[in-house]
Amino acid sequence: MTCCTNRSCGTFCLLSCVLTIAIAGCGPSAPSRQEISGSITWDGEPLSSTSIVFRSQGSGGQGVATEVTDGQFQVSSEQGPTPGLYDVVLLPVQPELEDYEALRKQGKMPLTGPKIPHRYQHRGELTAEVKADQPNRFVFEISSKR
């Protein structure tokens, strides 16, 4: 014996399926990613050969990392962080092994990224708040002095 042998039972099954799909589609949507950009100076000079990392201070935040070139960085809204509070971490970019070896064979010491103080390579020294649907431009002026 089956449940859906009469018309009212079939209607009930159809309504149940439609409501289940509708309710599943009404859940919270994922937070939208935001475009971010900014500048970083080191003792007044544009910083290069560095990666900037936005690490979420809370759960659920979507952090990002990008390279700093001539003191500037930018991440599109497709790849950017979600709104929230972030620790900003700076990490020196090391040359690729092939570039390093080529320079070494020429008798040149390969250039490396700046010596970023330990305090900027960990959470807490620099922070940023990414906001929804408004410009998120950050200016970081860091110093080799404490």
Burial class (CB in 10 A: 0-12, 13-18, 19+), 18: exposed
Contact 54, 36 (CB under 8 A): yes
Which whole-number Å values give the CA distances from 16 to 1, 4, 26, 99, 114, in the listed order? Answer: 20, 13, 15, 63, 62
Q: What is the pLDDT of residues 83-131, one digit of tens each?
A: 999 999 999 887 667 766 776 777 765 555 567 888 888 877 899 999 9
Side-chain-facing half-sphere of 74: CA atoms under 13 Å: 4
Comparing 18 with 134, the larger pLDDT belongs to 134
How far apart are alpha carbons 99 and 104 in whole angstroms?
9
Contact 61, 24 (CB under 8 A): no
Query: Which residue in this structure is represented by tokens 């103080």?
Result: 117
pLDDT at 33 (0 to 100): 94
CATH number of the domain at 36-142, out of 1.10.10, 2.60.40, 3.30.70, 2.10.270?
Answer: 2.60.40
pLDDT at 20 (0 to 100): 46
Q: Is this prediction's pTM over 0.75?
A: no
Instruction: Quote the distance between the C-alpha of residue 81 and its chain's center.
Output: 4
End-to-end CA distance of the chain: 81
DSSP helix/strand/coil, 18 = helix
Does an H or E element contain 126, and which? strand 126-130
Structural domain boundaries in the chain: 36-142
How far apart are alpha carbons 38 and 75 in whole angstroms?
10
Q: What is the pLDDT of residues 5-31, one digit of tens each?
A: 555 444 444 444 444 444 445 555 667
